[in-house]
Amino acid sequence: MILNILAWFTIVVFFVRNNILSFFNFETSVLNDVDIKELLVEYDVILPKKRVYPFISAKKHYEKNHNSNDLELLKCVLNEKCPEYVDSFDRVMNRTSIHLYNMFIMNKDNAIAYCEWLFDILFELELKVDIDDYDAYQSRVFGFLSERLLNVWVQHNSLKVKSLNVYEPDGRRYFEKIKKFISNL
């Protein structure tokens, strides 16, 4: 189950520089190690630009698209294991935008601290969430929840964020997403 999270890390997406040309000249716009080092001097973490939900909160969006009980179980686990994060969780879930993709670039110390915190929560959550009746998409529940947890961890630790565009070689299905969004209103 938790291994589903690792599948998120194998999706081929890249951070790109924030300019319109980055969408037309892929080879010269992908962040390289020099770009990353320069950005990490000024910022604590590099994240994908936030996905904006103009009419609903991140919580309502999750509840419409996934099992809302899993989100409640996550909050319970947070409350048990690290109650000091619950306020940040509530703030993140009540916003109308959120960083997705489970993508981040940060220094080694922050990455280790984040992963230790994240997997401690996810291993506990795995004991409580029953995915036996979930389809292949919904069985990625731990990846979906870890996207929210990254936002919670960044918020709670007051990290300075640089948000960048993401290039997806497969392309986005914008028309399908817009159609689905409108049908859910």
pTM of the model: 0.81
When pLDDT is cut at 50, 70 and 90, the band that residue 31 belongs to is confident
When pLDDT is cut at 50, 70 and 90, the band that residue 184 belongs to is low
Greater confidence, 2 or 132? 132
Q: Provide the mean pLDDT of the chain.
A: 85
Name the token pair of 88. Answer: 């940040």
**Among 57, 54, 68, 70, CA closest to 126:** 70
Give pLDDT tens digits for 37-68.
Answer: 999 999 999 999 999 998 999 999 999 999 99
- What's the average model confidence in pLDDT over 15-38? 66
CB 4 within 8 A of CB 144: no
When pLDDT is cut at 50, 70 and 90, the band that residue 130 belongs to is very high
pLDDT of residue 11: 40
**Among 119, 118, 108, CA closest to 152:** 118
- What's the average model confidence in pLDDT over 10-25? 50
Give pLDDT tens digits for 119-128.
Answer: 999 999 999 9
Q: Where are the alpha helices (DSSP H) in 11-166?
A: 26-29, 33-42, 58-65, 68-81, 86-94, 108-126, 141-156
Distance CA 122, CA 102 (A): 14
When pLDDT is cut at 50, 70 and 90, the band that residue 4 belongs to is very low
Determine the angle formed by the axes of helices 68-81 and 108-126, rounding to 10 degrees. 120
Instruction: Kindly list the domain boundaries of the chain, sorted by start residue.
Output: 3-183
pLDDT of residue 50: 95
- What's the average model confidence in pLDDT over 116-143? 97
